[in-house]
Amino acid sequence: MTMRFDGRVAVVTGAGGGLGRRHALALAARGAKVMVNDLGAAVDGNGGASAAARAVVDEIRAAGGTALANGASVTDAAAVQAMIDETLAAWGRVDILVNNAGVLRDKSFAKMTLEDFRFVVDVHLMGAAYGSKAVWETMRQQNYGRIVMTTSSSGLYGNFGQANYGAAKMALVGLMQTLAIEGEKYGIRVNCLAPTAATRMTEELLPREMLDLLQPETVTPGLLALVAEDAPTRAILCAGAGSFERAHITLTPGIFVGKPADAAEQVAARFDEISDRHGETVPDSGHAQAVVETGKAQRRHPG
């Protein structure tokens, strides 16, 4: 059955080009009304013009779809709230939020300024938090919502020269985990998409032969699956070049050491045993770690 979004309203940030543009076009082609947000800034976040968002809206309308353009910076909480208010005034609801806007200010940590660190965190993490907060009550009241955070392999696994970007992207996983738990009883499903795509942000980082395969349109099917009616929740979906994988934050079975005087020495000596992934689990909440740990202690010292 063809996946459709008729009657649904989507907001896509950073949708003036690259992945965001592809996401917006695909949602509109499948029936969604789309608020296309883009500040129109350079890759490092400087400058800004709303022409890029308007151009995508023109594409959507030319194809028979419905869309509006918005040039708010995701770092401006009031402007983000105004964008959501505008969306609600136009179409009465918000069903889908794709937190896609991002910037790069790459340098080794030794050379990176704290200003550049904070700015990248503000765009990626706080931008997603502002957008999610702006739609949260609406989604709770309508008992339906789909939110996607755009994380990255740089956050999941690290990348040289991207301490700010990686920290922000991994923080989005933590935000997703908790919002998914809190939103579950309200029909709000929250996921992460970790794309690898040839965009303005990656064209200087990857060789041409890889960029030719990593077209943004090969990632968007994953985005659509994460915001569909039967979407999962609390998933980290990796996507690139037409391939899709799932990443997990796991917990190994580990060991019980207790409180002997040489506990630190035992941890160091048995670190390979602690790291053994056989039988690892994916906890359903942060509380689950405590349950596992106290359970081991209780089995060792029953009663």
**E-assigned strand segments in 66-144:** 66-70, 96-99
Distances (CA, A) of 289 to 52, 59, 112, 113, 119: 45, 48, 35, 36, 33
Token output for 264: 């630190």
The end-to-end CA distance of the chain, in Å, is: 56
Annotated active-site residue in 130, 144, 157, 165:
165
| Residue 6 DSSP symbol | T
**E-assigned strand segments in the chain:** 9-12, 33-37, 66-70, 96-99, 145-150, 188-195, 236-240, 243-247
Which residue, 302, 217, 219, 206, is CA-closest to 256?
A: 302
165 is catalytic: yes
| Residue 240 DSSP symbol | E
How many Å is the maximal CA-CA distance in the chain? Answer: 72
Map residue 4 onto helix, strand or coil: coil
Locate all alpha helices (DSSP H) within 150-207, ordered by sequence: 153-157, 163-183
Residue 158 burial (C-beta neighbours within 10 Å; 0-12, 13-18, 19+): exposed
- What's the rounded Cα separation, in Å, for the pair 145 and 132? 10
- What's the rounded Cα separation, in Å, for the pair 231 and 246? 14
- Residues known to be catalytic: 165
